[in-house]
């Protein structure tokens, strides 16, 4: 069994059809061990909200996708905490490079 770490953009591809969704769905539906950082939870919520505001999905569809992600979070994924050293290292990278905080935490 392989172990994978998925960032929020990969997780969203499981729920919303985008380029890369087929591969992501095959991986998530497999028996592989899938890890997500805890910050993926608000990132997925934010991504779904953006898709709704841009009229790519309806409010009802966003709610259904969110509910599905929450259910899947107890069955499909294992969450890893973001510890202080990682947060501090991410901050240093953001000082030196034009990065978004959550993005750098997941890379």
pLDDT tens-place string over residues 35-50: 999 999 999 999 999 9
pLDDT at 70 exceeding the cut of 70: yes
CA–CA dist 28, 76 (Å, integer): 7
CATH number of 3-81: 3.40.50.1010
Under the banding of pLDDT at 50, 70 and 90, the label for residue 107 is low
DSSP code of residue 38: T
Q: Where are the domains of the chain?
A: 3-81
Mean of pLDDT over the chain: 93
CA–CA dist 17, 57 (Å, integer): 11
pLDDT given for residue 46 in this prediction: 95
CA–CA dist 41, 36 (Å, integer): 9
pLDDT at 4 exceeding the cut of 70: yes
Q: Work out the percent of the chain whose per-residue pLDDT is above 90.
A: 76
* Contacts of 93 by beta carbon, 8 Å cutoff, 6+ apart: 99, 104
């Amino acid at each position: 069994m392989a172990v994978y770490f998925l960032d929020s953009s990969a997780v969203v591809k499981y729920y919303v059809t985008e380029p890369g969704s087929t591969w992501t769905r095959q991986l998530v539906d497999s028996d592989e061990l899938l890890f997500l950082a805890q910050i993926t939870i608000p990132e997925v919520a934010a991504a779904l909200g953006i898709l709704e505001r841009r009229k790519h999905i309806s409010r009802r569809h966003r709610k259904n996708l969110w509910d599905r992600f929450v259910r899947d979070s107890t069955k499909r994924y294992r969450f890893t905490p973001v510890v202080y050293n990682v947060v501090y290292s991410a901050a240093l990278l953001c000082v030196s490079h034009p990065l978004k905080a959550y993005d750098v935490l997941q890379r």
